Chains A and B, each alone.
Chain A
Amino acid sequence: TAGITQAPTSQILAAGRSMTLRCTQDMRHNAMYWYRQDLGLGLRLIHYSNTAGTTGKGEVPDGYSVSRANTDDFPLTLASAVPSQTSVYFCASRGHSNTGELFFGEGSRLTVL
């Protein structure tokens, strides 16, 4: 099973350019999340979506936007990238059980120069 697919795996981007990180899941999970991982800071929540058509802000939302047009896709957009957005980005979804665990993609490494 594919689970969560993220693309691209890695990207180098010039500052000021826009970029969309793609995330697709095939598990029909309602809730989805975007985290960024930085050395020494762990994973921090950027945006989330409880269900298709709704989104919410996490801990570090500035400079990022998301949309949730359908259950499967949850893209993350950087409208005008800055070097501080250099990070590894993880998409995740929450399972149907009541145990609260998240399932993660393999990550997208973004470097902004």
Chain B
Amino acid sequence: AQSVTQPDIHITVSEGASLELRCNYSYGATPYLFWYVQSPGQGLQLLLKYFSGDTLVQGIKGFEAEFKRSQSSFNLRKPSVQWSDAAEYFCAVGAVGGGGSNYKLTFGKGTLLTVNP
């Protein structure tokens, strides 16, 4: 079964600073990898995804993530954070389970991002 670890529960950065949110996964093969963002009281919005090809993927709102197979990581980055980026960020891994027909998306516990003006 797959699992996801987000080591940082809460991160605070200043507006304009760079950002990196960490994500490590556990799965026997290359899974589908995702980053979602959730603003307070809202649903989840997909930032970006990786399933094959170029290991550096670009997403919406200026975010990017890099898949590193050797480190089982899929860290999210942004060169210059804006105040509007304050939200909770979830890394997720998608994989097919037993029997080959049960696709499931497993989430990390989330990283809350606070942005100081």
Contact = CB atoms under 8 A, between A and B. Distances in A.
The answer to whether A binds B is: yes
Interface of A: 31, 33, 35, 40-45, 48, 50, 56, 58, 90, 92, 94, 98-102, 104-107
A100 B106 contact: no
Interface of B: 9, 32, 34, 36, 42-44, 46, 49, 51, 90, 94, 101-110
Contacts of B43: 90, 104-107
Contacts, number: 56
Contact of A90 (B9, B44, B109): B44
B94 A40 contact: no
A60 to B, nearest CB: 12
12 contacts: A31-B103, A42-B107, A42-B108, A42-B109, A43-B44, A45-B105, A45-B106, A90-B43, A100-B51, A100-B103, A100-B105, A107-B43
Contacts of A56: 102
Contacts of A42: 90, 107-110
**Chain A to chain B: the 8 pairs with minimum beta-carbon distance, closest first:** A100-B32, A100-B94, A42-B109, A43-B107, A106-B43, A104-B44, A42-B107, A104-B43
Contacts of B103: 31, 50, 94, 100
Given A50-B101, A107-B43, A99 B32 contact: yes
Contact of A40 (B42, B101, B109): B109
